[in-house]
Structure formats: structure tokens, C-alpha cells
């Protein structure tokens, strides 16, 4: 099976109006979307669309909650002009832990028959209940074959009340045998605003690996939402500008 787990660190660094940095331990599932039923059968500590210690729920993904993630991502790619019938698609995401999940960002890594990383779909969630898809193609059409996948996108989805809706992201993905590295950098008015990095090592798909991750990083999804609010409080106390959701959100673009 190609599916596995990932373990590592996520870091954020804000550049304006003051420097603010953070780093946390994290782990993710990296599931081949065509293996989800096999993953469910192999693991006793994780279930698909059923309650367990860890749960993968299809409806936790896509702006209109999915019933079948594999079918939904391929339908989305076809709507974007691609032909993904024989593509290998890996979803990097958080699982529900004891029934709860918050996924700031999930990543669909879409490789063609040659193994070239052709498209990266980033699914972003905000704490207001919104979900949004960014569909990225590499600046160099062959960039996913060996080097890093690099692309840019306009910011058109409200995430943090401490960052306005303006700006443009630069996205870098390096998917290698030993691990996965992601970097998302936001620039506003031509100046660096926010840098996000995720550095992850691969872990085997097994109950033993999953139990180790659950014990080493207990209630990781609960911790994620807790740390979001903790750092929001610290930013507010430091005087970071505050942008209200309704005043700065833009209509969601068609998929």
C-alpha cells in the first residue's frame, strides 16, 4: 500500500507589523484516495465514516461535504480541465481523534501516470466553518518530476482575522521518499507577511505506528484548535490589526 502516516513540525512566522513565530509538533495521515477502504480494513484503531479512536470521514472534505473523496477529487480535477482517471492522488490531512477534527489545510497531491506531480489542490478551512479549494499547477510544467513543485495563487479566502484578504501566496511542495516538505509564503503589497512551513517524515501504516502517534501527540486535533485561539489572543494583546470576517470575505469562486 502507498498510504502511510507523516510526523513532524509546523511553523509560522509573521513579519508585520511585528515579528511573531511559533512551532508545534504535528502528525498527518497520507492516504492514497483509492486505498481508503483497504486502510479501513487494515487498521483496528482507525475507521472510515465510523466511530473509532481515529476516524477518516469523507464529509470532512470539500466545500459541499463529500460522500466519496476519491470520486469528488477526480470530478473537481475534470472540472479544472484535467484527465485524472489513472492518476495517483494522495490526501494529506488530519484525522478525527475521539470524534473531533479541525483541518486548517489539507493537501491533495495529484500525480500522473509517469509519477509527475501535476496538480496540488489545497483545501483550506477557517474557524467560521468555511471551506475553500485552491487548485495549483507548477510554474514549470515538469517541475513536479524531480525538483520542488512551485506555484502561486491569489489570496481569496478569509482565514485569520489578523490578516486581511489581500495578497498572494507562493507554494512550494517537495515530496521525496523520506518525507514531505511544504512551504506557503504570503506577500502583501510586495512585502513578506506570513511564512508557513511543514516538515514531515514518513511513518508506516500500521496500528503500532498509529498508537505511537496517538500517545506521543495526544488529542492533536483538539490541540490544533486550542493553539489557534491561544495565538490569536496573544496577537490581539500585542495589538495586531483585526479584520472582521463579513467585511473582508469575498464570494467563493466556482470550482
Answer whether 26's CB lies under 8 Å from 10's CB: yes
DSSP 131-168: EEEEEE--SSTTTTTSS-EEEEEE--S---TTS-S--E
Please state, in angstroms and rounded to a whole number, the distance separating the CA atoms of residues 200 and 178. Answer: 9
Model pTM score: 0.92
State residue 146's pLDDT score. Answer: 54
| Adjacent-strand bridge partners of 170 | 152, 185
State residue 247's pLDDT score. Answer: 55
* Backbone φ, ψ for residue 140 (5° rounding): -100, 115
| Adjacent-strand bridge partners of 197 | 11, 183
Answer whether 197's CB lies under 8 Å from 11's CB: yes
Span 142-199, pLDDT tens digits: 544 457 899 999 999 999 999 999 999 999 999 999 999 999 999 999 999 999 999 9
Measuring CA to CA, how many Å separate 120 from each of 16, 76, 137, 172, 221? 28, 12, 7, 10, 23
pLDDT in 10s for each residue of the chain, 255 residues: 999 999 999 999 999 999 999 999 999 999 999 999 999 999 999 999 999 999 999 999 999 999 999 999 999 999 999 999 999 999 999 999 999 999 999 999 999 999 999 999 999 999 999 999 999 999 876 544 457 899 999 999 999 999 999 999 999 999 999 999 999 999 999 999 999 999 999 999 999 999 999 999 999 999 999 999 999 999 999 999 999 886 544 434 333
Contacts of 62 (CB under 8 A, 6+ apart): 69, 72, 76, 123, 131, 133
Amino acid at each position: 500500500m502507498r498510504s502511510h502516516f507523516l510526523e513532524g513540525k509546523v511553523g509560522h512566522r509573521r513579519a508585520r507589523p511585528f515579528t511573531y513565530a511559533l512551532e508545534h509538533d504535528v502528525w498527518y495521515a497520507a492516504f492514497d484516495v483509492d486505498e481508503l477502504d483497504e486502510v479501513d480494513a487494515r487498521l483496528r484503531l482507525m475507521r472510515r465514516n465510523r466511530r473509532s479512536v481515529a476516524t477518516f470521514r469523507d464529509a470532512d472534505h470539500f466545500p459541499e461535504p463529500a460522500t466519496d473523496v476519491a470520486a469528488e477529487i477526480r470530478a473537481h480535477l475534470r472540472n479544472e480541465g484535467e484527465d485524472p482517471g489513472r492518476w495517483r492522488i494522495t490526501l494529506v490531512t488530519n484525522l478525527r481523534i475521539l470524534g473531533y477534527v479541525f483541518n486548517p489545510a489539507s493537501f491533495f497531491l495529484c500525480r500522473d501516470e509517469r509519477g509527475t506531480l501535476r496538480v496540488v489542490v489545497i483545501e483550506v478551512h477557517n474557524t467560521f466553518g468555511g471551506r475553500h479549494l485552491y487548485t495549483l499547477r507548477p510554474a514549470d510544467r515538469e517541475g513536479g518530476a524531480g525538483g520542488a513543485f512551485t506555484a502561486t495563487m491569489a489570496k481569496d479566502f478569509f482565514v485569520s482575522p489578523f490578516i486581511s484578504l489581500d495578497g498572494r501566496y507562493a507554494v512550494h511542495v517537495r515530496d521525496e521518499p523520506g518525507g514531505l516538505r511544504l512551504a506557503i509564503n504570503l506577500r502583501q503589497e510586495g512585502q513578506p507577511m506570513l511564512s508557513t512551513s511543514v516538515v514531515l517524515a514518513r511513518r508506516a501504516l500500521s496500528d503500532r505506528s498509529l498508537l505511537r502517534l496517538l500517545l506521543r501527540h495526544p488529542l492533536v486535533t483538539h490541540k490544533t484548535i486550542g493553539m489557534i485561539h491561544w495565538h490569536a489572543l496573544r496577537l490581539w494583546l500585542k495589538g495586531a490589526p483585526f479584520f472582521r470576517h463579513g467585511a473582508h470575505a469575498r464570494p467563493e469562486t466556482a470550482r
